[in-house]
Amino acid sequence: MSRFFLFLLAMGSAIISLPSFASGGSYLVDDAAITPASHCQLESWLQFRTTARTATTVPACSWGAVEFSAQLTGGVHSGAGSVAPGAKWQVFNGSRVSTALDAGVTAQGGRVRGSIAYAASTVQLDEAGRWLFNVNLGATHQRGEPTRRILGGGIEFAASASATLLAEVLDTASEGRTLQAGVRLPFGDNSIDLVLGRALGQQADRWINMGLNLAF
């Protein structure tokens, strides 16, 4: 199966799915990395919750130090489909520390429903680069609601050349904490994700994400 066919399959699964909501992504906490300049990537995942099933795809391409993306989400029993365009600017890329600024909006039913802006930093904790720490700090706003602070942190550990373990927590003011843990299985420049999540705030829920990430 070619990468091009997988790209079309993932795009189509999100666009033709039944109505859904805007997803925060397969991972809760973003790293500071972007797609290499003049290259593209496609992150796609299926999410299985107790109340909804969704399919999400995020095509992204970089121009210089800026990555442009558009998250498309569709699903079953979860509202109207959504699109979330965004831009991520890598402002610093050092040997052990990197930082990026990310901003985007979510549109649903032809109207902007929310926005988000945050800074993402990645710290390499050891010389070999097996341990990485990611931290996000910013704010999110939903239409008709007050702006909320978001703070997240995550640890990645490259257990082997074929498996990276991850654990993360995201705290959103007045909404509580959300936890995720999982494994990423790389093959070449691509990877497969399996992530388990749980919300501890006002809307307690659990889910499983199954993801496929492709680089072009």
Q: Which domains does the chain have, with CATH numbers?
A: 3-215 (2.40.160.40)
Q: Would you state the pLDDT for residue 193? A: 95
pLDDT along the chain (216 residues), means of 10: 42 35 64 95 93 91 97 73 94 97 93 95 96 97 94 97 96 92 95 94 84 94
Q: Would you state the pLDDT for residue 76? A: 65
Q: Would you state the pLDDT for residue 80? A: 61
pTM of the model: 0.85
Q: Would you state the pLDDT for residue 47? A: 94
Q: Would you state the pLDDT for residue 4? A: 42
Q: 128: exposed, middle or buried (C-beta count within 10 Å: 0-12, 13-18, 19+)?
A: exposed
| H or E element in which residue 193 lies | strand 190-199
24 in helix, strand or coil?
A: coil
